[in-house]
Structure 1
Amino acid sequence: MHIVQQDTALRIIGIELRTANSEAMQTIPPHWQRFTQENVLANIPGKLSDEVYAVYTHFENAGLNNQGIYSLIIGAPVSSAQAVPPGMAHAVLPASPRAVFPVPKGQFDQVGPTWQEVWQRDDLPKTFIAECERYRADGQIDILIGLRHGSTA
């Protein structure tokens, strides 16, 4: 894990799922399947890149914890002015320090265990506003966790 400073907000447009940790193992895989089957990435207008972001946001207890219902929006980064197409939603990754947890390159099966590592870290001042997985074209996967400003964790 290392800390990076995200200097500007990043807006993501994609498809949304409302879920909770108690049902995530049953609801998130079909959501990813829908993203792939419907070729959502190709249908996002004004993409800034082909990186895929899975953003966990709109937490029931925003700013406090990740318990309760939240949104998972899988999509791509767009400009702040891009309109949201019908049937899609948007999320904003606010500017903040972020803890970056790399997942072994191309090992999608390690995303879950890496999240477990993230949530076991009580030493990080997490914001619980918008966390994400970033999937790069080269196969690199990173989990990015928002940290309170002034954090050097």
Structure 2
Amino acid sequence: MKTLQTTEPMLVLGIPLRTNNQRAFEDIPTHWQRFSGENWLARIPHRRDGDVYAVYTHHAHEGVDNHGDYTLIVGACVTHADTVPEGLASAVIPPGRHAVFEVEPGRHDKVGERWLDVWANQDLAKTYRCDHERYAPDGKIEIRVGIR
């Protein structure tokens, strides 16, 4: 694990899913299939780059814990969004400190397992506000968790 300090917010547009940790291993793979199968990445205007983001936000207990419902938005970082196209939602990844957990490149199937490691780490002062995954075109995968 390494840490990353960001100084600018990032705006992500993508398709939303309301779920929780009890349903996540069932709901999230289906959501990703929808994102890919319906070619949503190509439909997102003003993409900043080729990265794909999965943003976990709007927690039922924001700032406290990750229990209860939250929204997952799978999409792309954009330069701006004058309007949010129908079918999409937006999320802002705020600037701040993030613990970065790498996943074996190209191994999307290992992301859920890595999240289990993240949540088991009791030494992190997690913010429980806006965590995200970053998928680079070269296969690199990172889980970024907001920390105090």
Shorter-chain TM-score: which interval? over 0.9
Q: TM-score, normalised by structure 2?
A: 0.97
Whether contact under 8 Å (1:134, 1:143) holds in the other structure is yes
Aligned to 2:120: 120
How far residue 81 of structure 1 moved from its aligned partner, in angstroms, is 4.2
Give the SS at the match of 1:98: strand
Aligned to 1:85: 85
Distance between the aligned counterparts of 1:85 and 1:33, measured in 2? 20
Give the SS at the match of 1:97: strand
Structure 2 counterparts to residues 34-45 of structure 1, below 5 A:
34-45=34-45
Q: Which runs of 4+ in 1 moved over 4 A?
A: none
**Structure 1 unaligned spans of 5+:** 149-153
Give the SS at the match of 2:105: coil
**Structure 2 unaligned spans of 5+:** none
Aligned to 2:32: 32
Q: How many residues of Structure 1 are paired with residues of Structure 2 in the alignment?
A: 148
Q: TM-score, normalised by structure 1?
A: 0.94
Aligned to 1:67: 67
Pairwise CA RMSD: 0.9
Tell me the alpha carbon deviations over residues 64-117 of structure 1, each in whole angstroms, 9 at most, x when there is no partner: 011000000000001244421111101111001110000011111211111011
Amino acid in structure 2 at the alignment position of 1:5? Q
Aligned to 1:8: 8
- Identity of paired residues, percent? 47
